[in-house]
């Protein structure tokens, strides 16, 4: 038998996985992808004015904010330190950061269908693509090849 023993847990310390600059001072860290499940777990540090194109999720998403403030243009609530956000599959929204050093943890299933003004799918963001970009940016920025959890 060649099956792997289930470990007690797989740990990544804060310093194990670097922050990469994704433009204008906003930062990204990819913690884990389960490509075959469609799961991606990431952390973001957004700067004010950072926006994420209107998108529709194909699976559920869970977000936990630890500093700063951000919102969806479609909603009244503001995510601040300690906020929990649940986004069911099928939900559609447009993210904008409104305070400095806004840190968010995202646990996401499926993909982001990025929508144009007519509601058509202009592009798709997913865990594997985000992982590939993270690895490439880390290497390009001299941060080495990060050991993202890839089960």
By the criterion CB under 8 A, which residues form the site for its own copies? Answer: 1, 3, 6-15, 17, 31-32, 35-38, 41, 58-60, 62, 64, 66, 72, 74-75, 77, 79-93, 105, 107, 109-111, 113, 121, 124, 126, 128, 135, 149-151
Asked whether the beta carbons of 96 and 68 are under 8 A apart, the reply is no
Closest separation in Å from C-beta 35 to its own copies: 6
Q: Determine how many CB atoms are found less than 10 A away from the CB of residue 89.
A: 12
How far apart are the C-alpha atoms of 131 and 54, rounded to whole Å? Answer: 21
- Among residues 49 and 90, whose Cβ is nearest to its own copies? 90
- Among residues 22 and 58, whose Cβ is nearest to its own copies? 58
Closest separation in Å from C-beta 24 to its own copies: 23
Q: How far is CA 81 from CA 9, 11, 63, 65, 137, in A?
A: 27, 24, 11, 5, 28
Closest separation in Å from C-beta 44 to its own copies: 13
- Among residues 47 and 92, whose Cβ is nearest to its own copies? 92
Tokens of 37: 């499940």
Closest separation in Å from C-beta 30 to its own copies: 10
Place of tokens 């840190």: 103
Asked whether the beta carbons of 79 and 61 are under 8 A apart, the reply is no
- Among residues 24 and 136, whose Cβ is nearest to its own copies? 136
């Amino acid at each position: 038998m060649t099956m792997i023993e289930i470990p007690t847990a797989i740990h990544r310390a804060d310093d194990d996985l670097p922050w990469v600059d994704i433009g204008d001072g906003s930062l990204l860290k990819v913690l884990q992808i389960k490509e075959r499940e469609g799961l991606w777990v990431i952390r973001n540090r957004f700067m004010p004015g950072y926006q994420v194109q209107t998108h529709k999720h194909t699976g559920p998403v869970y977000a936990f904010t630890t500093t700063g403030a951000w919102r969806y243009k479609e909603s009244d609530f503001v995510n601040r330190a300690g906020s929990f956000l649940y986004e069911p599959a099928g939900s559609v929204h447009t993210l904008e950061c409104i305070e400095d050093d806004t840190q968010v943890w995202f646990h996401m299933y499926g993909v982001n269908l990025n929508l144009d003004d007519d509601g058509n799918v202009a592009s798709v963001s997913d865990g594997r693509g985000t992982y590939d970009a993270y690895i490439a940016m880390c290497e390009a920025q001299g941060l080495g090849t990060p050991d993202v959890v890839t089960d």
